[in-house]
Structure 1
């Protein structure tokens, strides 16, 4: 079996595991560990606090700091409600494409890395190649943190990280941060005929949403000085809102979920801080005389952005291996920002097109998988003795 067919076979096996983020990834991790034992390479399992998920850190070559970490996640987005033409957890193949949930985001990259392990071993590496398989990327991007915290302690600290999210093998050196919030409004419930004696949580929530929309327009006007992002500005989006119990009851409660996607150099708490300032105005006006009324915003998750690091080892190496002359910026968040925050240079470069991610009949082009294998083959040559 040649290396490409080996990668396709590995992808078929990985896709067969239903690793939607709400479920355990341990059956997949068990399978990969069995494969790693056959390959006689070192690995460390890093379970989460509840023990139902785990990351896997693999080392090929010297057991030492330095080298390159290839980072991918094992979780996938749900298939419920999507119109798949066949079982999403059975890999299908036609002349040019491979179809299945996670085929492009991002088990294709994971499969390529695992399939290349025999070549990594044969290269007699002078600097290590590490592979990290994480969890919960699709929900929080917090899956790698336990492993990152162990860099330089009981796990080797890499010099560079390549996160294999789908970029069509372009090299991305920048992406936005993303912060997610839940804002809860407590009003004062009363019959709607006497609404002047109450506080509508729904009305207040609508004011807050309008304020966020106004802030979004302010960010749009400020634009993106770098001119690299699409859309070329930081964004605010309210995605879910729930409130009230009946048409003729002044609503006691309302909550909405929203997000802030910031350019890498933008203050990550800009939207939260500005909304809090607006809430202070409401406390001095709308809520006067209603001691139990108020607003509380909870930060659910914050994923750091990825800022350009021109000339870093990660950028220089990835551009050389991908045969590219320049980097790009991507609009979505990845785990790369977590590595950069920990002081390890990182870029995003992986097979497949991002517009296929999260779609029914998700696919990866076979040619993209082949290009990724060539990239990884070049990496082994760069790090060989």
Structure 2
């Protein structure tokens, strides 16, 4: 099947993060089964979600992992020109939720299987499909933990997030956290009988603001990123029920994006320490999402290979995050390269072009030829 036909099948499945991905996993497994490819099903601890892992070529030889996530972001609140879960072709563009982020890459992976099978691969090409990437790369870690049982240590991993088919070397790490403050409700005419949770939350917000300014002024800095420092942002504040009720609860959602060499948790820890110092209220927190940075490679072997296969110089860094940092942290050299543009992701009328899918398949074909040696 062509990547366009496979993409049509994938887009039609609206499996969202945080819920069962049974339909998407079944669709991918069916495509592989028709080609005689065995696929390992790796259930996650949630009980209703799975990662998938398949190997073409010898398992006991180091090879390459092609990795992509199966989930897509919701379409609620967006106005589309057509059904987002029905692929629409127009003017060389293929419209649909996930077309560029990142079912286009998954379609190319599957479309290339017959060619990989015919190449007599001396080094394997592994196909890795993960879940819940869009809510903090929650699924792929469970698959990475199983890699020693599934294959020899890989030579490299190509995470196919949309990069305009340009190899990308690095990105920042991230942690998002919800901070909770609990006071005591009372009638607003007698505020002394309550404890207003919004006021200490305001103190914490000012601390986050000042911490962001301090990071911008003092670093650490890495000129390969824009901005060149770690950042911390308070993005959501929720508190109070009515103007005549002393608010007994307030929640702040914040995120840290950190340059390589500085763990986002170290910055979050400063906020949590300030949270614990708030007086007269009960406090708690929970992590919303987290993934490590992908640092620039010390060994250029994978980067050099990808530059040669794509014919494009590698881009030093991107502002978005990916599962590549988790593969790197597990000792697998990793790089980002996939069809489509990140500027189209998560937006109405998301699309990938036929030309981009063709270019991606050409890259994977050259990788297969390299693996066939």
User: Taking structure 1 as the reference length, what is the TM-score of the superposition?
Assistant: 0.92
Residue 82, structure 1, aligned to residue 78, structure 2: yes
Determine if the alignment matches structure 1 residue 97 to structure 2 residue 85. Answer: no
Secondary structure of 2:99 counterpart: coil
Does 1:298 pair with 2:286?
A: yes
**Is residue 311 of structure 1 aligned with residue 307 of structure 2?**
no
Task: Give the aligned partner of residue 368 of structure 2.
Answer: 380
Residues in 1 aligned to 2:239 and 2:291: alpha-carbon distance in whole angstroms: 28
RMSD between superposed Cα atoms in Å: 1.8
Select which of 56, 59, 66 maps to 2:62: 66
Matching of residue 219 in structure 1 with residue 215 in structure 2: yes
Q: CA deviation at 1:214?
A: 1.2
Question: How far, CA to CA, are the matches of 1:155 and 1:381 in structure 2?
Answer: 20
Q: 1:350 to 1:154 in 2, by over 3 A?
A: closer
TM-score calculated relative to the size of structure 2: 0.94
* Cα distance in 2, alignment partners of residues 76 and 107 from structure 1: 9
Aligned residues: 373
Matched, 1:229 2:229: no
CA distance in 2, matches of 1:103, 1:89: 10
Distance of 1:93 and 1:259 partners within structure 2 = 37
Deviation string, structure 1 residues 232-277 (Cα, Å, up to 9, x no partner): 3322222222222332332221112111111122232233222233
* Segment of structure 1 superposing worse, 166-175 or 104-113: 166-175
- Partner in structure 2 of residue 158 of structure 1: 154
* Separation (CA, whole Å) in 2 of partners of 1:32 and 1:185: 44
* Partner SS for 1:87: coil
Corresponding position: 1:323 with 2:319: no
Q: Which residue of 1 aligns with 2:42?
A: 46
Taking the aligned partners of 2:20 and 2:249, their CA distance within structure 1 comes to 34
In the aligned structure 2, how far is the partner of 1:267 from the partner of 1:145? 17
Q: Secondary structure at the match of 1:306?
A: coil
Farther off after superposition, 118-127 or 29-38 = 29-38
Q: Which residue does 2:334 correspond to in 1? A: 346
Task: Give the corresponding residue for 1:143.
Answer: 139
Asked whether the 8 Å contact 2:13–2:24 carries over to 1, the reply is yes
Match of 2:266 among 261, 270, 273: 270
Distance in 2 (CA, whole Å) between partners of 1:325 and 1:255 is: 44
| Secondary structure of the corresponding residue to residue 31 of structure 1 | helix
Structure 1 residue 104, shift from structure 2 partner: 0.1
Task: Return 5+ residue gaps in structure 1 as ranges.
Answer: 288-292
Residues 1:258 and 2:254 aligned together: yes
What 5-or-longer segments of structure 2 have no aligned partner? none
- Is the partner of 1:149 in helix, strand or coil? helix
* CA pair 55-318 structure 1, distance change in 2 beyond 3 A: same
Rounded to whole Å, the distance in 2 between the matches of 1:377 and 1:69 is 14
